[in-house]
Amino acid sequence: MNKFDRVFSTLILLQTRRVVKAMTLAERFDISLRTVYRDINTLKNAGVPIIGDPGIGYSIMDGYRLPPIMFSEGEAAALLTAEKFIGRVTDKETQAYYSNALVKIKAILRSADKQALEVLDNSIAITHKNTWENKAYLQDLFKSLASKQLLKIQYKKADGTSSERLLEPVGCYHYSYNWYLVAFCQLKKSYRTFKLNRIVNLRVLDQNFDTEHISLQDYIDQQDQSWKKEHRFQTIKIAFKHAMIKYAESRKYYFGFIEQTVVDDAVHMTFLNSSLEVVARWLLQFGDQATVLAPVALKDRLKELATQLYRHYQES
């Protein structure tokens, strides 16, 4: 990105947040802090009323705004693509808000760009099925997160039991076709994760909380580290025949794929997984088209499973 585009993008970013730290700008544009300071001075010299100093962060004085910005065809196409995904992973209310926003964006495009976008709209599709139940909770969650309002939910656990919780929301995230809410539970006096499709009822209360909670990303990182400590991961190496690669690759990340190399007439894949049992049962489908290189325990388990399978069909 050249300097002009970077400085202009910096100005836009400053208008989207209350305070932007220099490190945030450096990471976003992959530049040094020294370059960030020069870019800020460039904007100041151009008459942009920027408030702040290094180490504190920067913001633009209230009331200053750029005139309406024209979107490029590429930017508009990216927004259109995002709309396709949003239609699959959010509730109907959020989908409607996004669609309305996109209509406003399309309205300011040039005629040629509008025509190109219409062609793209009919040429892009997301075909995976959404297994998440479209309950209208996301907008309520976003509202409570932004205004730090308490949530009251009726939650149904996996075992079928229900409980009522009073929550201080921290954040929400989407993972593996489901949305999750992270919140401080006043009943349990600790942070908890709630699956949205198990929330029977959700209500935003007219009551605010002022507790400074852990950030969503820090919570996710802590949970990830805790999960890794509880599970003993092992390095697994498997040689797949070339004819099987397309089938192995379709599921490799699910089993902790790390790397792969081509060796003679096979592709060697390395995985990091905590369950030899799960991997062994996955490998059964490949028969003699996959060979376990390590560990020996996985080889032995495959032999046992193959023997059990043989006896099962001998007896039936």
Q: Work out the percent of the chain whose per-residue pLDDT is above 70.
A: 92
If you average pLDDT over residues 226-238, what whole number do you get?
86
* Average pLDDT over all residues of the chain: 87
Reduced to 3 states, what is the DSSP secondary structure of residue 140?
helix
* Contact between residue 191 and residue 173 where contact means Cβ atoms under 8 Å apart: no
Q: How far apart are CA 271 and CA 279, in angstroms?
A: 10
Q: What digits encode the pLDDT tens for the residues 23-56?
A: 999 998 999 999 999 999 999 888 889 988 777 8
Buried b (16+ CB within 10 A) or exposed e, 137-166: bbbbbeebbeeebbbebebbeeeeeeeebb
Contact 143, 149 (CB under 8 A): yes
Which distant-in-sequence residues (6+ apart) come within 8 Å of 313 by Cβ?
Answer: none
**What is the token pair recorded at 163?**
């409980």
In 100-132, which positions are buried (b, 16+ CB within 10 angstroms) versus exposed (e)? eebeeebeebeeebeeebeeeeeeeeeeeeeeb
Decide if pLDDT at 115 tops 80.
Answer: no
* Order of all β-strands in the sheet with 290-294: 257-263, 266-273, 234-241, 290-294
Average pLDDT on 57-85 reads: 76
Whether pTM exceeds 0.85: no
